[in-house]
Amino acid sequence: MLRFLISRLLQTILVLYLIATVVFVMMKAVPGGPFSQERNVSEHILRKLEEQYGLNDPLHVQYAKYMWNITPKRFSPGALLRFDLKEGLGIDFGYSFRYEGRTVNQLIAEALPVSAELGFYALIIAAFLGISTGSLAALKQNTAWDHIPMGVVMVGICLPTFVMGPILILIFGFWVPESIRLPVLFWEPSYDASWMESLRYRILPAMTLGLYYAAGIARLTRGSMLEVLGQDYIRTARAKGVSPFNVVVKHGLRTGMIPVISYLGPVAAHLITGSFVIEYIFMLPGLGRHLINAALNRDYTLIMGTVLVYAAILILFNFIVDTLLVWLNPRLRLGSNP
Amino acid sequence: MIRRCLLWRFIPQGILLSVFALVLVGCSDNRTPVEIASAQGILLLGNGSEPHGLDPHLTTGVPEHNILHSIFEGLIAYHPTDESAPEPGVAEKWECNSDATVWTFHLRHDARWSNGDPVTASDFSYSFRRILSPALGAQYADQLIVLKGAEDYLKGNTSDFSTVGVEVLDEHTLRLHLVGPTPHLPGMLKHNAWYPVNPGVIESFGSIDSRESDWTRPENLVGNGAFRISKWVTNSYLEVVKSDSYWDADRVSIKGIRFFPIEKASTEEAAFRAGQIHYCSNIPIDRIAYYRSRHPQVIRFDDYLGTYFYRFNTTRPPLDNPLVRRALTLAIDTGLIVREVTKGGEQPARGFVYDGVSGYRTPGNLQFDPVEAKRLLADAGFPGGAGFPKMEILINTQEAHKMIAEAIQQMWRDHLGIDIGVVNQEWKVYLDNQDNLRYDISRSGWIGDYVDPITFLMIWTSDSGNNQTGWSNRRYDALYKQVLLTGDPHHRNALMREMESIFLEELPAAPIYWYTRKYLIHPDVKNWHPKLLDYHPFKFIQLEPTGFRL
Amino acid sequence: MKRIPMTESSQLSTQNPSRLVRSPWGEAWIRLTKNHMAIAGLVCFSTITLLCLLAPWIAPFEPNEQNLLKGPTPPGSTHWFGTDTLGRDLAARTLFGGRISIAVGFAATLVAMTIGVAWGAIAGYCGGWIDAVMMRIVDILYSLPFMIFVILLMTIFERSLLLLFVAIGCVEWLTLSRIVRGQMLQLKTMPYIDAARALGVRRTRLIIRHIIPNLLGPVIIYSTLTVPAVMLLESSLSFLGLGVQPPDSSWGSLINDGAEKMVSYPWLLIFPSIFFSLTLFSLNFLGDGLRDALDPKSKDA
The pLDDT value given to residue A22: 79
The pLDDT value given to residue A203: 87
Distance, in Å, from the CA atom of B75 to the CA atom of B79, rounded to the nearest integer, reads 13
- Alpha carbon of C64 to those of A83, B271, C84, C229: distances in Å? 51, 33, 11, 28
Distance, in Å, from the CA atom of B206 to the CA atom of B213, rounded to the nearest integer, reads 6
Helices (H), A30-103: 43-52, 59-69, 77-81, 85-89
Closest partner CB to A292 (pick from C240, C284, C301) = C240
Closest partner CB to C152 (pick from A163, A276, A295) = A295
Alpha-carbon Rg for chain C, nearest whole angstrom, is: 23
Percent of chain B with pLDDT over 90: 55
Give SS3 for B424: strand
Distance, in Å, from the CA atom of B15 to the CA atom of B106, rounded to the nearest integer, reads 70
Quick: pLDDT tens for C37-46. 788 889 999 9
Task: Locate the chain C residue with the closest alpha carbon to B333.
Answer: C68
Name the more confident of A36 and B130. Answer: B130
Alpha-carbon Rg for chain A, nearest whole angstrom, is: 24
Distance, in Å, from the CA atom of B315 to the CA atom of B293, rounded to the nearest integer, reads 47
Contacts of C274 (CB under 8 A, 6+ apart): none
Q: How far is CA C222 from the centre of its chain?
A: 8
Q: Under an 8 A CB cutoff, do A162 and C143 touch? A: no
Distance, in Å, from the CA atom of A37 to the CA atom of A25, rounded to the nearest integer, reads 23
CA B26-B31-B36 angle, 5° bins: 120
Sign of the alpha-carbon torsion through A169, A174, A177, A181 = positive
In this complex, how many residue pairs, one in chain A and one in chain C, have their CB atoms less than 8 Å apart?
105
The pLDDT value given to residue B520: 95
- φ and ψ of B175, to 5 deg: -120, 135
**Residue C14 clears pLDDT 50, i.e. is over it:** no
Tell me the pLDDT band of C22, cut-offs 50, 70 and 90: low
Structural domains in chain B plus CATH codes = 2-48+226-298+522-543 (3.40.190.10), 73-210 (3.90.76.10), 304-516 (3.10.105.10)
CA end-to-end distance (rounded Å), chain A: 11
- Parallel, antiparallel, or unpaired: how do β-strands B525-526 and B542-543 relate? antiparallel
**C19/chain A closest Cα distance in angstroms:** 30
User: How much is the ipTM here?
Assistant: 0.81
Chain C residues close to A161, C-beta within 8 Å: 236
For the ranges B60-74, B202-216, C2-16, the maximum mean pLDDT occurs at B60-74
Q: Which of the residue ranges A85-99, A230-244, C74-88 would you say has the lowest mean pLDDT?
A: A230-244
**A94/chain C closest Cα distance in angstroms:** 20
The pLDDT value given to residue B322: 93
Q: Strand pairing partners for B513?
A: B308, B348
Q: Under an 8 A CB cutoff, do B211 and A100 touch? A: yes
**Residue C11 clears pLDDT 90, i.e. is over it:** no
CA end-to-end distance (rounded Å), chain B: 53
The pLDDT value given to residue C1: 35
Sign of the alpha-carbon torsion through B392, B477, B452, B144 = positive
Distance, in Å, from the CA atom of B254 to the CA atom of B245, rounded to the nearest integer, reads 15
Quick: pLDDT tens for B379-426. 999 998 889 998 999 988 787 898 899 899 999 999 999 989 888 777
B318 preceded by a cis bond (ω within 30 of 0): yes
**Residue B255 clears pLDDT 80, i.e. is over it:** yes
Q: What is the mean pLDDT of chain A?
A: 78
Of B307, B327, B284, give the one whose Cα is nearest residue B444.
B307
Measured N-to-C along each axis, helices A144-158 and C267-294 cross at an angle, to the nearest 10 degrees, of 120
- Alpha carbon of B80 to those of B67, B245, B250, B255, B533: distances in Å? 16, 21, 16, 18, 12
**Residue B111 clears pLDDT 70, i.e. is over it:** yes
Q: Under an 8 A CB cutoff, do C156 and A31 touch? A: yes
Sign of the alpha-carbon torsion through C97, C100, C102, C108 = negative
Closest partner CB to B267 (pick from A281, A293, A296) = A281
Closest partner CB to B340 (pick from C69, C155, C260) = C69
Closest partner CB to A162 (pick from C37, C145, C256) = C256
Give SS3 for C81: coil
Q: Subunits touching C (CB < 8 Å, at least 3 pairs)?
A: A, B
- Alpha carbon of B394 to those of B294, B464, C60, C245: distances in Å? 37, 21, 30, 11
Looking from the CA of B171 toward its CB, the CA atoms found within 13 Å total 7
Chain B residues close to A285, C-beta within 8 Å: 233-236
**For residues B309 and B511, is the Cβ–Cβ distance under 8 A?**
yes
Helices (H), B208-321: 265-273, 288-294
| DSSP state string for A167-197 | HHHIIIIIIS-GGG----S-SS-SS---HHH
Name the more confident of A234 and B44. Answer: B44
pTM: 0.84
Amino acid letter, residue B189:
L
Distance, in Å, from the CA atom of B225 to the CA atom of B90, rounded to the nearest integer, reads 9
**For residues B201 and B215, is the Cβ–Cβ distance under 8 A?**
yes
**For residues A286 and A114, is the Cβ–Cβ distance under 8 A?**
yes
Give contacts of B 267-286 with A, CB under 8 A.
267, 270-271, 273-274, 276
Q: Would you report the helix, strand and coil content of chain A in percent, each value rounded to 5?
A: 75, 0, 25
Distance, in Å, from the CA atom of C194 to the CA atom of A277, rounded to the nearest integer, reads 51
Largest CA distance in chain B: 101
**A35/chain C closest Cα distance in angstroms:** 17
Q: What is the mean pLDDT of chain C?
A: 78
Amino acid letter, residue C193:
I
Distance, in Å, from the CA atom of C300 to the CA atom of B473, rounded to the nearest integer, reads 84
Per-residue 3-state assignment (H helix, E strand, C coil) for B141-156 = HHHHHHECCHHHHHCC
Contacts of B489 (CB under 8 A, 6+ apart): B183, B359
Element (H, E) at C291: helix C267-294
Neighbours of B195 (CB within 10 A): 26
Percent of chain C with pLDDT over 70: 84
Mutation test of the interface with chain B: which of A27, A30, A41, A182, choosing the one with the most B Cβ atoms within 10 A?
A41
**For residues A192 and A105, is the Cβ–Cβ distance under 8 A?**
no
Amino acid letter, residue B524:
D
Distance, in Å, from the CA atom of C264 to the CA atom of C242, rounded to the nearest integer, reads 25
**For residues B270 and A169, is the Cβ–Cβ distance under 8 A?**
yes
Q: How far is CA B88 from the centre of its chain?
A: 22
Of B176, B69, B197, give the one whose Cα is nearest residue B533.
B69
Give contacts of A 60-99 with B, CB under 8 A.
95, 98-99
| DSSP state string for B356-414 | TGGG----------HHHHHHHHHHTT-GGGTTPPPEEEEEES-HHHHHHHHHHHHHHHH
Chain B residues close to C240, C-beta within 8 Å: 397, 426
Give contacts of B 281-340 with A, CB under 8 A.
none
Of A124, A194, A203, A197, give the one whose Cα is nearest residue A171.
A203
- Alpha carbon of A202 to those of A117, A118, A270: distances in Å? 9, 7, 18
Ramachandran category for residue B235: left, alpha or beta (phi over 0 → left; psi -120 to 50 → alpha)? left
Name the more confident of B255 and C222. Answer: B255
Distance, in Å, from the CA atom of C230 to the CA atom of C104, rounded to the nearest integer, reads 8
Closest partner CB to C245 (pick from B266, B407, B423) = B423
CA A271-A275-A277 angle, 5° bins: 160
Tell me the pLDDT band of A238, cut-offs 50, 70 and 90: confident
CA C214-C219-C224 angle, 5° bins: 140
Quick: pLDDT tens for B449-458. 888 899 899 8
Sign of the alpha-carbon torsion through B253, B256, B260, B261 = positive
Tell me the pLDDT band of A5, cut-offs 50, 70 and 90: confident
Sign of the alpha-carbon torsion through B470, B474, B476, B481 = positive
